[in-house]
Amino acid sequence: MVFTKVKLNFFICCLSCLILGGQAYASSSHSVKGYYKKNGHYVRTHRATNPNRTQRDNWSSKPNTNPYTGKQGTKEPQK
């Protein structure tokens, strides 16, 4: 009986960590609606990192990877 409660508590703890971790991860980005550029090119709806004071954590910066597309960053972050 005690062993079952330990397993249940462990499962609840792991599930809570997954849920809370997912929320922290999801809050680091936002959705950008599709729009037309001046040259008529349409940019599809996409996700972007939230603005902050650094470029080191942007998905397009080296060595970061965009979690939605799997593409490696190519830009050198400004120092």
pLDDT tens-digit map of 15-59: 666 665 554 454 688 999 999 999 999 999 999 888 888 878 888
Q: Which residues contact 45 (CB under 8 A, 6 or more apart)?
A: 31, 32, 33, 34
Rounded Cα–Cα distance for residues 19 and 15 (Å): 6
Looking at residue 55, the DSSP 8-state letter turns out to be S
| Residue scoring higher pLDDT (23 or 10) | 10
47 forms beta bridges with: 31
The closest of 47, 43, 41, 42 to 69, measured between CA atoms, is: 47
pLDDT at 17: 62
